[in-house]
Structure formats: C-alpha cells, structure tokens
Amino acid sequence: MSNKLKEMAVKLREMANHLESLTPDEIPTEPAPSTTRTILDVKGLSKMNASFLRNFWAMCERNGWNVDDIATCISRESGFNASIQNPLPGQTASGLIQMIDATAKAMGIPGGAAELRTMSAEAQLPFVERYFRTALAILKGARPRRVDYYLALYGSSHVGKPFDAVLASKGGRLYELNSGLDFDRDGKIVVADLDAAMAETQRRTGGVRVPVP
C-alpha cells in the first residue's frame, strides 16, 4: 500500500472512531430542506383558495416551471378570474390564460371557450398545464426564460425568440389587440416588451409572497 493510501486509511479510521464516540444528538447532519412554499403575490392570486394554490404549486413543481412567472402570466391575462372573456367584439379568449375557442377544443374541452368559462379555476389547471407543456416543448428540455412563459400564450412558435424579435406591428390585428404592450410606442411589440410587462407586474408586488398551505 502506498504512503498516500495508508494516510487516507488512518484518517478514515480516525473519523469513524470520532463518530462512534458521539451521542446521536452530536452527530452532524445535513440541514433540513426548507418546506416553505410561497408564490409572488401578483394581482388576483391572494383571492384563490388553498386547494387551488396547492394544485397550482404542484403543477409548476412537477414540470420544473417557475411558479412566479406562471402566476404572473395568469395575473396579466385574467387576474385569476376563471370565467372572464375578452370583451372585444369577435373575441373568444376566455379563462385563466385566455384560450381562444379553437385552442380550448384542441386542449380537450369539447365545448371550447364557452365551456371553459363555466369551469372553476382549479378545474382549468389540467388544461393550463397541457397548454404550457405543448407550447414549451419547443425548448426541448431547456429551462424557459421568464418571458418564454408569456410568449407561449402567443403560440409555441414565439417561444425562445430573441429579445429584439418583432411579434406584432402597428396596423396588424395582433398589435391592435395588445397595443398596451408597446411600451416605447414605436409601433412594434418585441419580445423585450413582454419581458418588461412581466417585470413590472412582479415589481408591483413589492416582494410580498402568498404562502401555499
């Protein structure tokens, strides 16, 4: 046995003898992981019941999604009002993440957006999960950026685009429906505008968080 191996063996025996001499209370252990579960208190979240918060947290956790960012998207889209519908003429966007009729049906809701509006927020979560899983699959396992969750609501083809990518321009239908996102009023909505919108929503919470029971 080499000198180095002999030295390692001696040290291991010393460590073992030391641990054997300790009482159970004295044996060092890893600190227990934090069990505190909280979500950023974006507008509308605090009114949700304990069951919704638990299921919402679980949905994000099992998919590796940022719970604050998903909550921010829902807050901006619906304020966590499960029955809300886009009031603009001809618009069917409804529910927590404002699914249009065709999308709701594609997600497995036979009655489309109209049926979605009759469902509770908690009942909508499986369809919210299905939607984000489908839209974020384009990342092929890569961790989404904050803005990617919001981009997903505009279609999976937008997910992962660079911050200067143009999503809509003045004169187009998408721009007219979302003109409030054109922060610098340059007639274009770019990815950075969506990220800025999310950042502002999160800033307004003042860092307050809602505990998950």
Question: In angstroms, what is the C-alpha Rg of the chain?
Answer: 24
Q: What is the pLDDT of residues 87-112, one digit of tens each?
A: 988 999 999 999 999 999 999 999 99
CA dist 184 and 196 (Å) reads 11
- Asked if the structure places residue 22 within a domain, the reply is no
**Is the residue at 160 inside a domain?**
yes
pLDDT of residue 11: 53
Long-range contact pairs involving 200-205 (C-beta distance under 8 Å, separation at least 24): 201/42, 201/43, 201/72, 201/75, 201/76, 202/40, 202/42, 202/68, 202/72, 204/42, 204/43, 205/40, 205/41, 205/42
Q: How much is the pLDDT for 145?
A: 97
The 3-state DSSP class for residue 210 equals strand
95 Cβ partners below 8 Å, 6+ apart? 78, 82, 83, 84, 104, 113, 116, 117, 119, 124
In a domain, 98, yes or no: yes
Q: How many domains does the chain have?
A: 1
Domain around 171: 38-206
**Would you say residue 5 lies in a domain?**
no
Where residue 142 sits, what CATH number does that domain have?
1.10.530.10
pTM of the model as a whole: 0.82
Considering the domain boundaries, does residue 23 fall inside one? no
b/e map 14-43, b = 16+ CB within 10 Å: eeeeeeeeeeeeeeeeeeeeeeebebbbbb
Predicted local confidence at residue 178, as pLDDT: 87
Q: Indicate whether 183 belongs to any domain.
A: yes
**Structural domain contains residue 16:** no
Counting as low any pLDDT under 50, the low residues of the chain are 5, 12, 19, 24, 26-34
Residues in the chain: 213
| Contact of 144 with 66, CB cutoff 8 Å | yes
**212 found inside a domain:** no
